[in-house]
Amino acid sequence: MSEVSVRLMTEADLEAADELRRLAGWNQTPLKWRCLRRLVPHGCFVAVFDGQVVGTVTTTTYGQALAWIGMMLVHPAHRRLGIGTRLMRQALAFLQQRGTQCIKLDATPAGQPVYAKLG
């Protein structure tokens, strides 16, 4: 059985990332993904299962003081398997390593349990 891995998002992942956004019914565009990745290239991550991108998370930093976590998406067929938690932990570790003082995000009802569990 394959395992899920979490790695840095690459330019090659953007089409799959945008498909997850489309499945979620969100209104961002492919250009938004490119912008987010270019702003903080070491702070955007994907979860991969069987060679397919099944989850995403991005970070946007504003100096050391503030960062925003966004684009937290998991493919519907892979939800409730801990993928969102792994992505969030990766994003938080990246931001904490940078010394970010305040981390914010907007949560959908589906994501609230993950975020509450992580503090």
Q: Where are the domains of the chain?
A: 5-118
If you ran DSSP here, which 8-state letter would residue 42 be given? Answer: G
Distance CA 18, CA 30 (A): 6
Query: What is the pLDDT at residue 51?
Result: 94
Q: Looking at the domain that runs over 5-118, which CATH code has it been given?
A: 3.40.630.30
Cβ neighbours of residue 77 closer than 8 Å, sequence gap 6 or more: 54
**Kind plus residue range of the DSSP H or E element containing 25:** none
Q: Which two tokens stand for residue 71?
A: 């684009």
**Does pTM surpass 0.75?**
yes
Q: What is the pLDDT of residues 62-78, one digit of tens each?
A: 988 999 999 999 999 99
Diameter over CA atoms, the chain = 42
Render each residue's pLDDT in the chain as its tens digit; 119 residues. Answer: 469 999 999 999 999 999 999 999 999 988 999 999 999 999 999 999 999 999 999 999 998 899 999 999 999 999 989 999 999 999 999 999 999 999 998 877 776 777 677 76
Residue written as token pair 């966004």: 70
Cβ neighbours of residue 66 closer than 8 Å, sequence gap 6 or more: 100, 101, 102, 103, 104
